[in-house]
Structure 1
Amino acid sequence: MQPREVADASYAGDVSPQLAWAWVQAGEAVLVDVRTDAEREWVGFVPGAVAVAWKQWPGMALNPGFDEQIRAAAQGRKVVLLCRSGVRSVAAARRATQLGIEAYNILDGFEGDPDGQAHRGQRGGWRFVGLPWRQN
């Protein structure tokens, strides 16, 4: 498995959840969950992931502490970024790259794209492929 390159090189690339998890387990990367606190609390979370919200609930305003928090999370390592569906994590990966961090987006996010009934979790994503997660 190799990262998928990004045409505009605004971040390091896209990786499958399985490759991201392999890197984390090998100590090659830090898993950063950029979803809101509410999403992690209500939908589920990956044990051991570092929580650094890209946007904050309510209102979805950008997290003013993102730069400082992502630098602290990375500690000189590459980061793999997880959101709900792989959209906010691209924006967060772009910002982390601007800060000098090797940053990858995790494809399909935690829940994947919606299915025909607009339900998530049935067509890809971290949970769908059976990687570790918990729910409160």
Structure 2
Amino acid sequence: SKHKKHGKHHKKEKDLDCRPREQGIFSEEFVQYNRDQEQSLRNLRRQIGQTEDEVDSLKRNSHSLEVNSEHLRELIKKDRMEADRLEDTVSSWLDIVKECLEEDELENEEVEFSRLIRFFGSNIYQKAYLEDILENSEGQ
């Protein structure tokens, strides 16, 4: 026969094709599980990124609030000091007015009022305040 002439013996050769077959090494369930896990990982990474952004934003807002709070505390402190100073001033005015009213030796209240105005200056608000005090004290 022809085969024997060439010294070859033809046996049925095994299929040694290394190309990927339709059925892979891993089962479809395993591959799907891996896909699901990868999707979960991507989702978690996205959530982590969003959470980190939110934390950074909260830190910035917190710092801003702390700065504003400190500024407000300073303003409140200054306002309280100013209020105390004004209360002391009003108290001093009242003491002077009381002293003036207690000195009934003067027959004319206008003279006394003029004395107060000269003492406090010509500020219109001070005049109005003193007029109120004098009017209220007359009724007592």
TM-score, normalised with respect to structure 2: 0.24
Task: Return the structure number with greater strand share.
Answer: 1
Structure number with greater Rg is 2
Task: Return the structure number with greater helix share.
Answer: 2
